[in-house]
């Protein structure tokens, strides 16, 4: 079993296939990198290991599958500690006229440029703290230590892709995002949220309303003596007088703020939920210790060590009314849990239904330290908490005359309960829909609405997925795709034109292979039957990535518009 394939470039072998390894890797030169930029894979047939793989991409399917994730983990003689720390590597599959074109490029962030210029890691990431050059004098070193007491975060935006109007951004969980050209993968403008809203952290999973506006959340740490969670909206359009400048962020609107239950221990969150009329924020007891973070550099530890799961604390669920832009007064809480991904949320008969993927501890993050991802990781590394898809039901009508301990959930379709407490709060106990799935996606046309299908990867106690699954919430039935030595990425649903049913469309997933003799590929499934329609193999070792999206051809700028963007930069 080879070392886990996490997208490390080590050079070009005799066959022209790039080999990726964690153990023996060097950063690529610009010329090395540019030789990897584009590969043309023609369908319906491609020869792989003597076997012809046939398939045909639907004629309506044109656009770009754009993916983001950690790529380079070793720079010079320095090495990151954690898989989530690697330099952001963008890659795309462009589908046009039944053909597929592959392209990949490192995000040219300030962090990337500084590291490459120094030939060592000089910018700290969440799991790796960078330190001054040992050749610096004692005064320079002292200044570096002092400046890290209030850390400036990296712009290594390696988690997801955000759309705002006709622009696209690589995102992470800090105050920086990087504008990119999805067609060339060129890195453009660096955007600092703090110029428009007082936040230090932000999620990489924004939502989009019916008008195309971006809704997102961020944490403001000890600003004017308060730590709070900020919900904000970025418009999809700008006033006619400003269209040439396209500064949508200048019109960012703070919709609501929620005070943290602790000034110095705010909750960590990776995503949030949205229904037709509500924003759902889960304030979990997986918390960031601000004092520890401020002294991490001096103490010689990374920022990840400042995250702690408080298993005896409650999880608080906040509902924010999108119409009044206020937090509703009812206090909902649940048992301690850790969650990274919301699935969906919707309203039904005066209830808000919230579906999430949760864990009973925070072991998932620790699984991805590189010291754990060796050749034996499949047998030696196990999650201590299996992910579960849980459904919480929050009653909107809470009758003051209801008996203490009574269940306020009136929906016959769920076993979830919401018990009235003596102090007026509501204790929510979820229904378990299914177990062992992560990286959930839905038909986004059903976001905030009652829905039936979840598309996800299956993990089964291991941090690396082995199957793509389609889960039917109504029947509890599953369809799955799997193949030996294949690790699928997050499945992306693309609806068919004029689709009348929720699962009418296709699934796209990039497949990494753990067998060096088996080429990776883009997998295309019929979302309804989960049968394979086509695959496009690529003669480049793909890296495991995190998130991304499909951009239809109609949403892409023309070449002239792209040139104007570059001129503005």
For the chain, domain boundaries: 43-556
Separation of alpha carbons 9 and 232, rounded Å: 38
Instruction: Give me the residues of the chain with pLDDT under 70, please.
Output: 1-54, 132-151, 240-246, 374-381, 461-463, 559-569
Which pLDDT value is given to residue 543? 84
Which pLDDT value is given to residue 567? 59
Which pLDDT value is given to residue 461? 61
The DSSP annotation for 113-169 comes to: HHHHHHTS--S-BTTB-----TTS-HHHHHHHHHHTTSPPPP----SEEEEETTEEE
Which pLDDT value is given to residue 245? 57
Separation of alpha carbons 63 and 97, rounded Å: 10
Which pLDDT value is given to residue 151? 58
547 labelled binding-site residue = yes
Which pLDDT value is given to residue 26? 34
Q: How far apart are the first and last CA of the chain?
A: 46
If you ran DSSP here, which 8-state letter would residue 367 be given?
H
> Is-cis flag, bond preceding 44, omega within 30?
yes
Contact, 356 vs 343, CB < 8 A? yes
205 labelled binding-site residue = yes
Q: CATH top-level class for 43-556?
A: mainly beta
SS3 366: helix
Which pLDDT value is given to residue 20? 32
Which pLDDT value is given to residue 420? 95
Which pLDDT value is given to residue 247? 83
Q: What is the pLDDT of residues 233-249, one digit of tens each?
A: 999 998 766 655 568 99
CB atoms within 10 A of CB 186: 17
341 labelled binding-site residue = yes
Enclosing H/E stretch for 266: none
Separation of alpha carbons 257 and 373, rounded Å: 39
């Amino acid at each position: 079993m080879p070392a886990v394939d996490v997208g490390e470039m080590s050079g070009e072998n005799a066959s022209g296939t790039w080999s990726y390894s964690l153990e023996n890797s060097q950063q690529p030169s610009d010329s090395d990198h540019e030789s990897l930029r584009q590969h043309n894979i023609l369908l319906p047939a491609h020869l792989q290991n003597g076997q012809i793989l046939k398939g045909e991409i639907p004629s309506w399917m044109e656009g770009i599958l754009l993916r983001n994730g950690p790529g380079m983990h070793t720079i010079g003689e320095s090495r990151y500690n954690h898989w989530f720390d690697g330099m952001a590597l963008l890659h795309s599959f462009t589908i046009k006229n039944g053909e597929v074109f592959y392209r990949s490029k490192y995000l040219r962030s300030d962090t990337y440029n500084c590291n490459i210029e120094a030939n060592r890691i000089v910018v700290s990431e969440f799991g790796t703290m960078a330190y001054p050059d040992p050749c610096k004098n004692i005064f320079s070193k002292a200044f570096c230590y002092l400046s890290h007491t209030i850390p400036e975060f990296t712009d290594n935006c390696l988690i997801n892709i955000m759309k705002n109007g006709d622009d696209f951004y690589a995102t992470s969980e800090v105050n920086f995002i990087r504008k990119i050209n999805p067609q060339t993968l060129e890195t453009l403008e660096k955007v600092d949220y703090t110029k428009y809203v007082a936040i230090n952290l932000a999620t990489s999973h924004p939502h989009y309303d019916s008008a195309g506006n971006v809704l997102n959340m961020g944490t403001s740490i000890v600003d004017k003596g308060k730590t709070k969670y900020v919900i904000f909206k970025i418009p999809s359009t700008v006033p006619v007088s400003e269209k040439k400048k396209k500064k949508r962020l200048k019109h960012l609107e703070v919709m609501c703020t929620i005070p943290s239950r602790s000034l110095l221990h705010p909750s960590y969150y990776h995503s949030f939920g949205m229904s037709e009329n509500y924003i759902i924020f889960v304030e979990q007891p997986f918390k960031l210790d601000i004092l520890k973070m401020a002294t991490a550099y001096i103490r010689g530890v990374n920022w990840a060590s400042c995250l702690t799961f408080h298993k005896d604390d409650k999880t608080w669920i906040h509902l924010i009314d999108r119409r009044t832009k206020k937090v509703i007064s009812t206090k909902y809480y649940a048992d301690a849990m850790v969650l990274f991904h919301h699935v969906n949320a919707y309203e039904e008969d005066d209830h808000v239904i919230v579906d999430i993927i949760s864990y009973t501890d925070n072991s998932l993050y620790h699984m991805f330290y590189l010291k754990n991802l060796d050749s034996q990781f499949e047998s030696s590394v196990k999650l201590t908490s299996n992910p579960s898809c849980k459904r919480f039901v929050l009653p909107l009508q809470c009758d003051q005359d209801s008996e203490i301990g009574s269940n306020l959930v009136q929906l016959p379709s769920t076993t979830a309960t919401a018990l009235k407490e003596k102090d007026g709060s509501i204790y929510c106990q979820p229904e378990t829909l299914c177990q062992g799935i992560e990286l959930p996606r839905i038909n986004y046309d059903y976001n905030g609405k009652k829905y039936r299908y979840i598309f996800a990867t299956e993990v089964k106690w291991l941090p690396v997925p082995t199957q793509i699954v389609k889960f039917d919430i109504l029947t509890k039935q599953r369809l799955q795709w799997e193949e030996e030595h294949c690790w699928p990425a997050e499945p992306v649903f693309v609806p068919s034109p004029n689709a009348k049913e929720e699962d009418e469309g296709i699934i796209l997933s990039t497949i990494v292979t753990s067998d060096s003799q088996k080429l990776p590929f883009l997998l295309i499934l019929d979302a309804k039957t989960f049968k394979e329609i086509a695959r496009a193999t690529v003669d480049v070792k793909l890296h495991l990535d995190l998130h991304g999206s499909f951009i239809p051809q109609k949403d892409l700028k023309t070449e002239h518009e792209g040139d104007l963007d570059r001129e503005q930069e």
